[in-house]
Chains A and B, each alone.
Chain A
Amino acid sequence: EVQVVESGGGLIQPGGSLRLSCAVSGFTVSSTYMSWVRQAPGKGLECVSLIYTGGTTYYTVSVRGRFTISRDNSKNTLDLQMNSLRAEDTAVYYCASYSSYFDSWGQGTLVTVSS
Chain B
Amino acid sequence: QSVLTQPPSVSGAPGQRVTISCTGSSSNIGAGYDVHWYQQLPGTAPKPLIYDETNRPSGVPDRFSGSRSGTSASLAITGLQAEDEAEYYCQSYDSSLSAWVFGGGTKLTVL
Question: Which positions in A face B, CB cutoff 8 Å?
Answer: 35, 37, 44-47, 50, 58, 60, 94, 98, 100-103, 105-108
Say yes or no: A102 contacts B46, CB within 8 Å. Answer: yes
Q: Say yes or no: is B68 at the interface (Cβ < 8 Å to chain A).
A: no
Cβ-Cβ contact count across A and B, 8 Å cutoff: 52
Interface SS of A by simple majority: strand
Q: Which residue of A lies closest to B35 (CB)?
A: A101
> Smallest CB–CB gap between A107 and chain B, Å?
6
Instruction: Report the contact-size class of chain B (Cβ under 8 Å from the partner).
Output: 20 to 34
- Taking CB atoms, residues of chain B closer than 8 Å to A47 are 99-102
Q: Say yes or no: is B91 at the interface (Cβ < 8 Å to chain A).
A: yes
> Smallest CB–CB gap between B86 and chain A, Å?
13
Give 13 pairs: A residue, B residue, CB < 8 Å, sorted on A.
Answer: A35-B100, A44-B2, A44-B89, A44-B103, A44-B104, A45-B46, A47-B101, A50-B100, A94-B45, A101-B51, A102-B36, A102-B91, A103-B51
Q: Which residue of B lies closest to A108 (CB)?
A: B45
- Taking CB atoms, residues of chain B closer than 8 Å to A35 are 100
Q: Which of A44, A100, A106 contacts B105 (CB 8 A)?
A: A44
A98 to B46, CA, bound (A): 13
- Taking CB atoms, residues of chain B closer than 8 Å to A94 are 45-46
Q: Which of A46, A50, A107 contacts B45 (CB 8 A)?
A: A107
A101 to B39, CA, bound (A): 13
- Taking CB atoms, residues of chain B closer than 8 Å to A44 are 2, 89, 102-105
> Smallest CB–CB gap between A1 and chain B, Å?
13
Q: Which residue of A lies closest to B102 (CB)?
A: A45
Q: Which of A60, A101, A107 contacts B34 (CB 8 A)?
A: A101
